[in-house]
Each structure stands twice: as C-alpha cells, then as structure tokens.
Amino acid sequence: MQEEPQWDPYSKDCPTRQLLDRIGDRWTVLVVGALAGGPMRYTALARRIEGVSQKMLTQTLRALERDGLLVRTVHPVIPPHVEYELSTLGRSLLPVLGALERWAIDNISGVLAARDGYDRD
C-alpha cells in the first residue's frame, strides 16, 4: 500500500500552493460564486461578473476545468451552445467561498473605516 504524500502549502514546490493560488484568485472566487446556482453560458457569466475581461474569464474557466473544479459541456447545435457548471469537487468549495463572501460583506464597513483612518495618518 502506497503512503499518501505529506502536502505542505508552505513549501514553495508543493502543488497545494498552486491550488491555493487558484482558489484565492479574485476571478476564481467570483466564477465559482456565479456558478453556485447552476450551469451558465459564457455570456451570462461575463454579464454576472462585472469588470472581467474576455481574456481573464476564458483563462479562469480553462484553469478551473483543468483542475477539475468545473465541467464544460458543448451542446452540438448551430451555433455551439457551451455551458459551464461546477463539478462535485468545485461544489465542495461553495461553503468555504460562501463564508469568505459573507465575511467580506459583513466586515467591509470596518475595513473601509480602518483604511480611512490609516490613510489620514
């Protein structure tokens, strides 16, 4: 029986560090949140995530698909109909990212006040 590797995100060469970088990326957080309600087409995602460029949305979707966090489904119609949805692995992120989103909403006033105080000093 092969022993499971000991992962350490504090080690510079550990793949868990790459995964944390992916999950912590602002576009990843927003794409996963947008897909929480179910499958979406590219244009719907682009409308939902204000400010994301076509290039960044495409790169983020490809990276999430590569990491197994989302599934891309192409429906064979003219023009092609492509949908993106979270995989089971991607859905497992929802409680974690949902908690971060709630924390940000609940605490933004305090953060803005702290920034204002810091900037005045």
Burial of residue 53 (CB within 10 Å: 0-12, 13-18, 19+) is: exposed
DSSP reduced 3-state for 81: strand
Cβ neighbours around 113 below 10 Å, total: 10
Cβ neighbours around 22 below 10 Å, total: 15
Render each residue's pLDDT in the chain as its tens digit; 121 residues.
Answer: 777 778 999 998 899 999 999 998 999 999 999 999 999 999 999 999 999 999 999 999 999 999 999 999 999 898 889 999 999 999 999 999 999 999 999 999 999 999 999 999 8
pTM (whole model) above 0.85 = yes
Query: Can you name the residues that pair with 73 across neighbouring β-strands?
Result: 83
